[in-house]
Structures are given as C-alpha cells and as structure tokens.
Structure 1
Amino acid sequence: MKPLIVYYSHSGNNEKLAIELRDRIGCDMYEIKEKKKRKDLAILMDFMVKRNSRLVPLDFDVSDYGPIILLAPVWAGKVAAPMRTFFQMEKDKLTDYSFITLCSGAAGQREKIAAELSALTPQKPIAVAELWINNLLPEEQRNKIKYATNFRVEKQHLQQFNEEIQFFIEMALHTQKEKVLL
C-alpha cells in the first residue's frame, strides 16, 4: 500500500508542514475540509460543547492507504475538532497511523495527545510528534498565546525542525522498529 497524508489546517501552518512531508515522502495528500468556513469563535465553542465538525465527504477510501500520517493543530491541549471528527468517521480504518502537529507547545502535551488518539481509535498511533511554534519565537514572545497563534510558518522555519521531521517520517513509515512519542 501507499502512504497517505491527511491534514486539517486552520491557519495554514499545518498545511505547510503537510506539504513538506509530502515532498519528502512522495505520497498522496488529502485536506480535511469543513462544509462551512470556521471562525475563531467556533474553535472555543467546539471545545466548550464538544460538538463534531461537519466535514465535506471523503472522495477516497482510507483503507486503500497505509501508513497514514495525520496532521492537525492542537487547540487547548486537544486535537482540533475537524480531525477528531475524521477519527470518529474512519476509526476502524485507521490501523496504521501516526500524528504530527505544528502547535504552540506545552510540557506534557504530547502524551495527552497520544492518549486522546488512542481513545479515539482501536489502534494506538505508531508515532506522535509536535513541533513547537514557541521554539521559533523570540524569547520575549514565548509562551504567550497571542504570538503563537498569529505566527505563520514559512519553509525556512520548517528547516529548523529538520531532524525531528526526518525522525518522525522514519517512525511513521516503519523504517524504525519501535513505537515512540517524539
């Protein structure tokens, strides 16, 4: 089977990461799209009332691919609502998957993401990685949500995560043997 990248990106940051991964791996890529454009307030509402996103139907069968690399932002320590909805829709077909995110970053968050993913599907992820926007910010702007959420990633920023990205790819594509949280 052929690898597949499935991503959701609200700000465009995770889309740039998805493109970088696609270019390195040479695989198909699919964007999760919502039926209605999301506003920032909807992110807060989804979190508060735990509602599902309304997604555009898929035009492919997830079970035709593997391994699958999933990308999405992390909102308030949880995987973004559109990706959670995708997990709920496709959970039985996600048997060989990994997850990576470009997010603000917080201590212990990766482990919480891995636990959330494991609860959403019958299978645990092969690898879970987060690339912290906080590490790209000047010292005086780090750990301040307004700077992290407004930061827009460019290709040169992704180069700063080159080793982490390459290790994640090796794990996700099974060129490394053990499951790991990156």
Structure 2
Amino acid sequence: MKPLIVYYSHSENNQKLAIELQSRIGCELREIKEQKKRKDISILMDFLIKRDSRLAPLDFDLREYSPVILLAPIWAGKIAAPMRTFIKKSKDGLIDYSFITICSGGPGQREKIGAELLALTSHEPSALAELWINNLLPEEQRNKIKYTNKFRLKREHFSQFDQEIRFFIEMAMHADQDPKTLT
C-alpha cells in the first residue's frame, strides 16, 4: 500500500508542513475542507459546544493507503474540529496512522493530543509530533496568542525542525519501509 498525507489548515501553516512532508516522502496529499469558510469566532464556538464540522465530500478511500499521516492545528489544546470530525467519520480506516502539527505548543499538550487520538480511533498513532511556533518566536513574543496566532510559517523555518521532521517520518513510515527520501 502507499502512504497518504491528509491535512486541515486554517492559517496555511499546517498546509505548508503537509507540502514539506510530501516532498520528503513522495506521496499523495489530500486536504480536508469545510463546506463553508471558517471564521475565527467559530473556532471558539466549536470548542465550547463540542460540535462537529460540516466537511466537504471526500474524494478518496483511506483503505487504499497505509500509513496515513494526519496534520491539523491544535485549538485550545484539542485537535482542530474539522480534523476531529474527519477522524470520527474515518476511524475504521485509520489503523496505521500518525499525527503531526505546527502549533503554539505547551507543556503536556503532546500527551493530551495522544489521548484524544486514542479516544477517537481506538488505536495509538505510530508517530506523534508537534512543532512549536513558540520555538520560532523571539523570547518576548513566546506564549502570547497575538503573536502565535498571527505567525506564518516560511520555508526557511523547516530547517529549525529538521531533526524532529526526520524522526517523525522514520516513525510514521515504520523505519522498515524506505520513504523516497529523508532529506
């Protein structure tokens, strides 16, 4: 079977990470889209009332792929609602999967993401990684929402995460399979 990257990105940061992973692995890339363009206030509403997103129809079958790499932002310590909805709807096809995000970051968040993924799928991910925007910001801007939310990832930022990205790919691809390239 062939690998697949499935992503949701509100600010385009996770989209850029998905494209970077695709270039390193050499696999297909699919975007989770919502039926309506999301406004920032709806992020808060989704969190408060725990509602599912209305996703646009999907044009792929997860059963044709393995492993599946999921990417999405983290909103208030939880996987973004559109990806969470996708996972709920697709959990039977998510046996061999991994999750990575570019997010603000915070202590203990990785464990919470892992627990949420396990609760949604009944399977632990093969690999789980979070790349912290806070690590890219000047000290005086770290952990401040006005800076982390407005941050936009650029190609040159990937060099700062190279080791984490390489390790994630090795774990996600199970190291026994050879991705096209790990550079």
Name the TM-score, length of structure 2 as normaliser.
0.95
State the shift of 1:2 in Å: 0.3
State the shift of 1:68 in Å: 0.4
Query: Do the aligned residues in 2 keep the contact of 1:73 with 1:103 (CA within 8 Å)?
Result: yes
Q: Secondary structure at the match of 2:149?
A: helix
Q: Which amino acid aligns with 2:52?
A: N
State the shift of 1:124 in Å: 1.1
How high is the sequence identity, in percent, across the aligned residues?
70
State the shift of 1:122 in Å: 2.1
C-alpha distance in 1, partners of 2:98/2:43? 24
Alignment of 1:71-90 (within 5 A): 71-90=71-90
Q: Which residue of 1 aligns with 2:47?
A: 47
**Residues 88-138 of structure 1, C-alpha deviations (whole Å, 9 max, x = no match):** 110011000000000000000000000000000121111110000000000
Alignment partner of 1:168 is 2:156: no
Q: Which residue of 2 aligns with 1:100?
A: 100
C-alpha distance in 2, partners of 1:152/1:118? 29
Query: Do the aligned residues in 2 keep the contact of 1:92 with 1:122 (CA within 8 Å)?
Result: no
Segments of 5+ residues of structure 1 without an aligned counterpart are 177-182
C-alpha distance in 2, partners of 1:17/1:81? 19
Q: Which residue of 2 aligns with 1:132?
A: 132
Alignment of 1:1-182 (within 5 A): 1-175=1-175
State the shift of 1:82 in Å: 0.2
**Residues 29-52 of structure 1, C-alpha deviations (whole Å, 9 max, x = no match):** 000000000000000000000000
C-alpha distance in 1, partners of 2:124/2:36? 30
Q: Which amino acid aligns with 2:161?
A: F
Q: Secondary structure at the match of 1:171?
A: helix
Query: Do the aligned residues in 2 keep the contact of 1:46 with 1:81 (CA within 8 Å)?
Result: yes
Query: Do the aligned residues in 2 keep the contact of 1:73 with 1:101 (CA within 8 Å)?
Result: yes
> How much is the aligned-residue C-alpha RMSD, in angstroms?
1.0
Q: Secondary structure at the match of 1:161?
A: helix
State the shift of 1:67 in Å: 0.2
State the shift of 1:158 in Å: 1.4
C-alpha distance in 1, partners of 2:154/2:89? 32
Q: Which amino acid aligns with 1:109?
A: Q
Consecutive aligned runs of 4 or more in structure 1 exceeding 2 Å deviation: none
Segments of 5+ residues of structure 2 without an aligned counterpart are 177-183
Q: Which amino acid aligns with 2:22?
A: R
C-alpha distance in 1, partners of 2:8/2:160? 22
State the shift of 1:145 in Å: 1.1
C-alpha distance in 1, partners of 2:96/2:167? 17
Q: Which amino acid aligns with 2:152?
A: R
C-alpha distance in 2, partners of 1:135/1:123? 30
